[in-house]
């Protein structure tokens, strides 16, 4: 079984599972209906191929998940404290961070993790320059700004270790003219 067929089968199984969960009852009719809907979706609305480079390094992914969960917990406590503490509202602002991530897919994953950290929201991503603009809830002190930049640098470093080590990463081939991808207008 080729990798493409395995991915397609996994997509079908996932869509059927979502269908059954939406209906809330496991029955032959729901499973059959899910198979029909999943097949129609994958045939009529195919997703473009996403180029994937490099290898996944399990230990680095585990460290990345642990760090992201730690940052989310820490930020949740900070946001909760900022919402109940007496005094003026925190100073908010937009900070710019340059990332060393090369792949668009890994850049998207990093932006998703940044958005999951309470008190931060990625407003814009410059794919060419690899710069993200992030709204941060509390930048009232230089220490808070340095902490945010340190957080982003650590996430960037761990994403590169987990997915884009220089010894294993090569740019994805350009899509061929017959591909189903459309160029942006």
Tens of pLDDT, residue by residue over 64-102, are: 999 999 988 988 898 898 889 888 888 999 999 999 998
Q: Same domain, yes or no, for 32 and 74?
A: no
Q: Same domain, yes or no, for 151 and 71?
A: yes
Q: Same domain, yes or no, for 31 and 74?
A: no
Q: How many domains does the chain have?
A: 2
Q: Same domain, yes or no, for 76 and 151?
A: yes
Specify if 118 maps to a domain. Answer: yes
pLDDT of residue 53: 66
Specify if 49 maps to a domain. Answer: no
Domain of residue 158: give its range. 58-163
Q: Same domain, yes or no, for 78 and 102?
A: yes
pLDDT of residue 143: 94
- End-to-end CA, the chain: 37
Q: Same domain, yes or no, for 92 and 150?
A: yes
Specify if 185 maps to a domain. Answer: no
Paired with 124 in beta bridges are 133
Checking DSSP bridges between strand 93-98 and strand 120-126, what pairing results, if any? Answer: unpaired
pLDDT of residue 37: 94
Specify if 76 maps to a domain. Answer: yes
pLDDT of residue 46: 83
pLDDT of residue 156: 94
Q: Same domain, yes or no, for 118 and 158?
A: yes
State which residues of the chain have pLDDT below 70.
1, 50-54, 167-185
Q: Same domain, yes or no, for 27 and 62?
A: no
Q: What are the CA-CA distances from residue 62 to residues 5, 13, 56, 68, 161 (Å)?
A: 28, 26, 11, 10, 11
Specify if 126 maps to a domain. Answer: yes
Write down the pTM of the prediction: 0.70
Mean pLDDT, the chain, whole residue set = 86
Q: Same domain, yes or no, for 154 and 117?
A: yes
């Amino acid at each position: 079984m080729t990798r493409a067929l395995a991915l397609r089968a996994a997509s079908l199984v996932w869509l059927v599972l979502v269908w059954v969960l939406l209906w809330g009852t496991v029955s032959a009719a729901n499973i059959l209906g899910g198979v029909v809907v999943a097949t129609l979706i994958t045939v009529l609305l195919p997703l473009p191929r996403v180029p994937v480079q490099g290898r996944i390094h399990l230990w680095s992914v585990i460290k990345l998940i642990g760090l992201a969960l730690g940052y989310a917990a820490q930020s949740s406590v900070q946001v909760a404290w900022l919402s109940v503490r007496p005094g003026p509202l925190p100073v908010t602002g937009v900070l710019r961070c340059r990332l060393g991530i090369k792949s668009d897919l890994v850049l998207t994953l990093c932006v998703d993790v940044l958005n999951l950290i309470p008190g931060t929201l990625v407003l814009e991503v410059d794919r060419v320059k690899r710069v993200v603009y992030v709204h941060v809830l509390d930048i009232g002190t230089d220490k808070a700004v340095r902490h945010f930049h340190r957080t982003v640098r650590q996430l960037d470093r761990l994403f590169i270790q987990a997915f884009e080590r220089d010894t294993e990463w090569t740019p994805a081939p350009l899509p061929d003219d017959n591909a189903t991808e459309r160029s942006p207008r």
